Chain A
């Protein structure tokens, strides 16, 4: 086990606390860089979605995880970014310009949403962001001169330096990866700056933050704006990846999916956004795989345990019928969410930390280290 002696604050906020970090992140980067030349095109496509979802997850973490302001309206920010890109591209604006413009516009709208949200807390904030998302969705469907209404908009491939970049090409993947990495590095730097410390202070106690001289209103609006802007950038990539956008893609369902990303990944660290994104994007192909292969596997098991060929075929068809039931996916989704909230409240990254600590302290690990405290006293109504 390695001991880190921190002698000043600079040591404490260092991005790479020791050389091991260079090795592991360097390896990860290398793997990600060779991925497009190894993986199948389907997996590559999923990987691009992981990058986009992770970017949104980081944005949501800034707002929900680090500033403590819940939002169920991030699909709307994503939509604003996507539509800005599609609209500007129609008028021949080059990619770097509309990419930045989409982020700026979304950030501006995020700040505008942040102002009314200043006075709201907890459940009221959740419902206010849901309302905002509904209104945006309806505007997208009705403002036909700009958004083309329910028919949706097509968006052409990115053109970088005059070369068209297909949405399935490795270059597009590298673009998404670059945006994700820049977002993560930027956010890490933000979080160790005075702004980031103010965010965390507001999350932990608004009253305490205010009495320490933190301008709560200013930082909440900042947090909303930054989070929205990053989501806007992700929206541009999202639009390019899908190449077609319409209002019904940006529903409450999508906002909930983003929340699930950070919930499953873990809300206390940026690793959570990436892990959660991998989980959410990969669960679909995984379930499809199970649906296709599970009946055969179960029938095989039944056959080895002495059931006759007839019985095994019977079992196989029954399991297949069950697996192709309509809505099974929704039920599995629901169960996963509930199980994570109940048994893994720190998310996948929390589980990773637990496993790591288990091996570091090998015989001495105790479960209570990660136990969260329950508070039965505080009423969230009066704070």
Chain B
């Protein structure tokens, strides 16, 4: 029983990481109907920025964290301006390919700059553990769970309660109509990329004590976060986190109870099963075009 709870908690913590990355996917998709395959690599880059600020320049953890988030927000805007804006309005597939290309580029360049070693960021809470009875919970994992809950709530409120959030949803449904209604669509898209890069950075920094930062971490985790976003239904913020947690829990349970090898495929098998039964994901909206 204790094993089960322990596995459950570590699965939830891992799942929250996937959820955080998936949030970035969902944000961009929700506002622009673009799927950003480079999301994991943005996370990796954010982690490297934080490592540079904290580990190499010796800044305070929180200042370094904020600096990395700000820098990545700017970088997100830049990436949107250079790669995405010229092809908005073309079929989705072009944009998928463009972001795959962007991901390649970011991976190799960060490999060239920071090398191919694993890096670790010292955090104020990376050492301690919380004991409840005989249950042992590491602070770094708890911090991921807490951050995910906070970010998810904030983003949900932002999308559903603020004017800017409503504008974002409007421009995803129909850019032209949103433009006619006086929404500055270009600026909206640019802001959403900034937010999603910032969220990715949070994921990267929180992740650093758990999985370390290296230039391929984005690819590995991005490919796990992607099913999470699909599982939750690609346009739903709580869905992304629920999907992420599901994937994380399935993975850690499969790793513990099933034979070796199941751990890596189990999330994809579940994903295929869910897609078979409910093609739009657990929380997705499915609307048929009326002719």
A residues bordering B, Cβ < 8 Å? Answer: 64, 70, 116, 119-124, 126-128, 130-132, 134-135, 138, 141-142, 207, 211, 252, 256, 259-260, 263, 325-331, 333-338, 341-342, 345, 372, 374-377, 379-383
Contact = CB atoms under 8 A, between A and B. Distances in A.
B261 A141 contact: yes
A326 B116 contact: yes
A255 to B, nearest CB: 11
17 contacts: A124-B275, A127-B230, A134-B268, A141-B261, A211-B291, A263-B97, A329-B108, A330-B107, A330-B111, A333-B104, A335-B101, A335-B105, A336-B101, A337-B101, A337-B104, A342-B86, A372-B90
A380 B34 CA distance: 10
Contacts of A341: 87, 94-95, 97-98, 101
Interface string B224-240: 00110010001100000
Interface residues of B, number: 60
Contacts of B235: 381
Given A263-B97, A333-B104, A342-B83, A142 B90 contact: no
Contact of A374 (B89, B102, B107, B280): B89
A130 B223 contact: yes
A138 B176 CA distance: 45
A377 B174 CA distance: 5
Contacts of B261: 138, 141-142
B98 A337 contact: yes
B108 A374 contact: no
A382 B101 contact: no
A279 to B, nearest CB: 14
Top 7 closest A-B pairs, CB basis? A337-B101, A334-B105, A374-B89, A334-B104, A330-B108, A382-B287, A131-B268
A132 B269 CA distance: 8
A327 B269 contact: no
A377 B83 contact: no
B135 interface: no
A380 B279 contact: no
A135 B269 CA distance: 8
A128 B287 contact: no
A381 B285 contact: yes
A108 B227 CA distance: 26
Interface in B42-97: 83, 86-90, 92-97
A345 B90 contact: yes
A338 B202 CA distance: 27
Contact of B230 (A124, A330, A333, A377): A124
A127 B226 contact: yes
A309 B65 CA distance: 48
A135 B267 CA distance: 10
Contacts of B279: 119-121, 124
Contacts of A122: 92
Contact of B112 (A70, A124, A327): A327
Interface of B: 29, 33, 35, 83, 86-90, 92-98, 100-109, 111-112, 116, 172-177, 179, 215, 223, 226-227, 230, 234-235, 261, 264-265, 268-269, 271-272, 275-276, 279-281, 285, 287-289, 291
Contacts of B172: 379
A313 B97 CA distance: 40
A127 B247 CA distance: 14
Nearest to B94: A341
Contacts of B280: 124
Nearest to A206: B289
Contacts of A70: 93, 96
A126 B289 contact: no
Contact of A331 (B89, B104, B173, B174): B104
Interface centre among B87, B261, B268 (most CB of A within 10 A): B268
Contacts of A119: 275-276, 279
A92 to B, nearest CB: 31
Contacts of B101: 333-338, 341
A336 B108 CA distance: 13
Given A127-B230, A128-B272, A337-B98, A375 B89 contact: yes
A201 B233 CA distance: 28
Contact of A376 (B83, B93, B100, B175): B175
A290 to B, nearest CB: 16
A345 B97 CA distance: 11
B233 to A, nearest CB: 10
Contacts of B83: 338, 342
B33 A331 contact: no
A325 B271 contact: no
B201 to A, nearest CB: 20
A374 B96 contact: no
A61 to B, nearest CB: 13
A45 B268 CA distance: 37
A341 B107 CA distance: 19
Contacts of A383: 289
A381 B226 CA distance: 18
A263 B101 CA distance: 12
Nearest to B231: A127
B269 A326 contact: no
A38 B223 CA distance: 45
B33 A379 contact: yes
A376 B102 contact: no
B33 A380 contact: yes
Given A330-B104, A334-B108, A123 B288 contact: no
B94 A331 contact: no
Nearest to A134: B268
Given A259-B97, A327-B112, 9 more contacts: A119-B276, A135-B272, A138-B261, A138-B264, A334-B103, A335-B101, A337-B98, A382-B288, A383-B289
A159 B157 CA distance: 67
Given A207-B289, A207-B291, A128 B275 contact: yes
A338 B90 contact: no
Nearest to B289: A383
A64 B93 CA distance: 10
A134 B89 contact: no
A221 to B, nearest CB: 15
A210 to B, nearest CB: 10
